[in-house]
Structure formats: structure tokens, C-alpha cells
Structure 1
Amino acid sequence: MYWTGQFLFRTFFRLFFRVKIIGKENIPADKGVLLCSNHINNLDPPLLGAFLKRKTRYMAKAELFELPVLKFLLPKVGAFPIKRGSSDRQAMRAGLKLLKEEEIVGVFPEGTRSRDGNLGKGLAGVGFFALRSPADVVPCAIMSTYKPFSKILLVYGEPIDMQKLRDRKASPEEASEEIMASIKQLLDKYKK
């Protein structure tokens, strides 16, 4: 079901938007990847993985898994729930397991969509994943108004070297700040 959904979303994005992708070569072909992006629209999750050759798994707010159709669809496309506003140990274990199994896990470190398009503060959870797993941490920037036939720019940055932070046992908050700074650099570099 994942590949069918990916094909349908890729077709949707190509038909209704002018999509430009930069940096797909920064996604390793055979390693775990923590894919960290800004979040500006409900279409961000399918966009983030629509043009990759590898399956992308997502953490999604637990409330979505209570809706009748999504309760069925989300697990089929590889999403798993996270309870926002608390330390969800089950979601943390699930994410770490996927990363150790060399999967791609897509996360939105801000934890929610930005209402004004500006990058917010990253939550500590993304730093936890970055420090506790061997995965490459790849920052990503999405720039678009998502108005029909407008341009969408999707930039996958170079992996962030987290080893120094891992070696000195940095805090999850510090790792999160490093990730958010990398996303901001991409946004600043490629904004119109």
C-alpha cells in the first residue's frame, strides 16, 4: 500500500505544483536516516517521501489514529503514533527500532505546523533520536505556499555530523538545536 500511496502523491504533486527537488543524493541508500524537516502544511509528510526510492516512516500525532479512515490507513503506510506533550516511551522505542533497522524515519522537530511559516523551536525528542541511534541525521527544508500550480522547493541537506555530540554525551536539547540550525541554514540559503 505504501508504494501505491507514494505513486499517487507523487502524481498529485507533479500535476498540481511545480516541484523542484535538491539534494536527493544526500539520502543514504543503505543506512538508517532520521529525516528532519520544517512543517508548514498537512501535505508535508507525503511530500517528504514522495520522491525518494526508499520507504519513509513517520511519527504522527496519536489523535490521527483515532479517526476512522486514518486509523486504518496510517499503519498501512508505515506511520506510528506519538502522544504529543509527554514523553511517549513506546513511540521512542518504535522510532529507535526503525532507525536501527536502517529505515528512514521522517520527523517534524517543531512537533506541529508553523502557523506563520517561520521555523519554531525544535522539541527534545528529535535530539533523543539523533543521539541514541546510529542513523544519519538529514535536515530538510520545504518552501511553498501550497497554492495550486505554485512552486514547491524541497531541499534535502547534507547529513549532520552528530558524532561529536554523541561522544561528549550532549543533551537531547542541544542536539535538537543543532538540527534546527541546519534546517534554518537550508531555509535561509534557498529562500526566494
Structure 2
Amino acid sequence: MSYKIFRAIFRFFYRILFRINAVGSENIPTEGAVIIASNHTSLLDPPAVGILIKRQVRFMAKEELFKVPVVGMLIRSFGAYPVKRGGVSIDAIKSSINLLKSGDVMGVFPEGTRKKGDDGAGAKKGTAMIALRSKATVIPTAIVGDYRLFRKTTIIYGKPVDIQNVTATDDIDQYEAVTNEIMKQINLLKAKV
């Protein structure tokens, strides 16, 4: 099955089960490299972030998922690629930068793992490094809701973060400064609802 067919199926079920809707999808460029950087609260987040927009969104997924027979095949068909957890995955970083230099869309969760109700403290610097090296547009994205059946879940796509103008201070490096700005924008979006 193609990505568009799976997206339509997921969109149907997410709209029925979780009343999912999108706000700000017009902020996503129609072409060129884009990083959709979102908070991460559930295993249901990756499809939720990607199914409501026109462009295909590719995600890193933990390496172990690719070893599960049906799950591995399914996420690979969605364009996911593996990342080793617990350290820096040079292969995943290279794959991400190459993907973006090809003009694709990458979905990423800067916190690295699921966190409920967190403000993004402790977010990883990988998103900032990939964004700066690829010169991709970064769209802060907030998932608001907890995927309760028949309760509203909203995906808010914010305006692009101007990462090129985020400057480091003596106390923090450039990657940390960009990471902090991305998480600040995500938290501002979460506070709007």
C-alpha cells in the first residue's frame, strides 16, 4: 500500500476515535527541507503529526521496532529509519541530514522519548544540530490532548523558528540555544489551547 492510502486510513480512524484536527498547517512550506519538531506524549504521536498535512513526514524510530516483523515492515513503508537509543547515532544523523538536503520533511521529537506534561527541559540537542547543518525550516508543533476516545486532540503547527538568528551566550552553546528556542516555541503553542 502506498503512503497516501495509509495516511487516508489513519486520518479516518484518528478523526473518528480521537476527534483529531489541525491548526496552522498553512505554516508548513509546500516544498524544501522541513523539520516538524513536536512534543511527544504517546506512541500515537508520529501518525498524528503526519496524517493531517499534504507532505510525507519521515521519522526516526528506535532500532528495536524494525526487528518486530509486522511493525518493522509497516514503519519502513512509512519512510521511517532506525536510530540507536542511548547515545549519539551517527548513522541516524547522517540519514536525517541527507533526507533534508533532498528537500524532504522530517518529524522529530526533541525530547527523545515520551513525556507527559513536561515543559521540554532536558530536550536533546540533535534536532538543533540537524537543523543547523541542513538549513531546514523548523516548524514547532504541539500535540494538545491525550488521545482519549471521542475526545478532541489538536495538532498545532506553529510559524517557522528563525534558528539562524538564535545566538549563543557565554553560558550555552549554539545547539543548546537553538534547542531551547524550539522547545520554548512548542510550549507557547501548547499554552494557546
Give the TM-score normalised by structure 2: 0.92
For the residue of structure 1 that corresponds to 2:41, the secondary structure is coil
The CA distance in 1 between the partners of 2:135 and 2:112, in whole Å, is 22
- Partner in structure 2 of residue 75 of structure 1: 76
Residues 107 and 180 of structure 1: CA distance in aligned 2, closer, same or farther (over 3 Å): same
Name the % identity: 41
Work out the CA distance in 1 between the residues paired with 2:62 and 2:22. Answer: 27
Matched with 1:182 is 185
Kept in 2, the 8 Å contact 1:18–1:152? The answer is yes
- Residue 13 of structure 1 deviates from its aligned partner by 1.0
Residue 28 to residue 167, structure 1, CA distance change in 2 (3 Å):
farther
Residue 167 (structure 1) shift: 10
CA contact (8 A) 1:27 1:156 kept: yes
- Determine if contact 1:32/1:135 at 8 Å carries over to the other structure: yes
Work out whether residues 111 and 123 of structure 2, in 8 Å CA contact, stay in contact via their aligned partners in 1: yes
Deviating beyond 6 angstroms after TM superposition, the runs of 4 or more aligned structure 1 residues are none
1:130–1:175 Cα contact (<8 Å) kept: no
Does the Cα contact within 8 Å between 1:36 and 1:179 map onto a contact in 2? Answer: yes
* RMSD of equivalent CA atoms: 1.6
How far did 1:75 drift? 1.5
Distance in structure 2 (CA, Å) of the matches to 1:58 and 1:145: 21
Distance 1:97 1:137, change over 3 A: same
Deviation at 1:17, TM superposition (A): 2.2
Q: Which residue of 2 aligns with 1:62?
A: 63
Structure 1 residue 130, shift from structure 2 partner: 1.6
Does structure 1 conserve the Cα–Cα contact (< 8 Å) formed by 2:166 and 2:181? no
TM-score under structure 1 length normalisation: 0.92
Q: Tell me how far apart the structure 2 counterparts of residues 167 and 181 of structure 1 sit (CA, whole Å).
A: 15
- Cross-structure match for 1:171: 174
| C-alpha distance in 2 between matches for 1:46 and 1:107 | 12
CA contact (8 A) 1:58 1:107 kept: yes
Number of corresponding residues: 188
Q: Give the match for residue 100 of structure 2.
A: 99
Amino acid at match of 1:185: L
Structure 1 counterpart of 2:119, which letter? L
- Give structure 2 stretches of 5+ with no counterpart: none
Q: Distance in 2 between matches of 1:52 and 1:130?
A: 20
CA contact (8 A) 1:37 1:142 kept: yes
- Cα separation, 2, equivalents of 1:74 and 1:13: 17
After TM superposition, give the deviation of residue 171 of structure 1 in Å: 2.6
Q: Give me the whole-angstrom Cα distance separating, in 1, the residues matched to 2:18 and 2:184.
A: 28
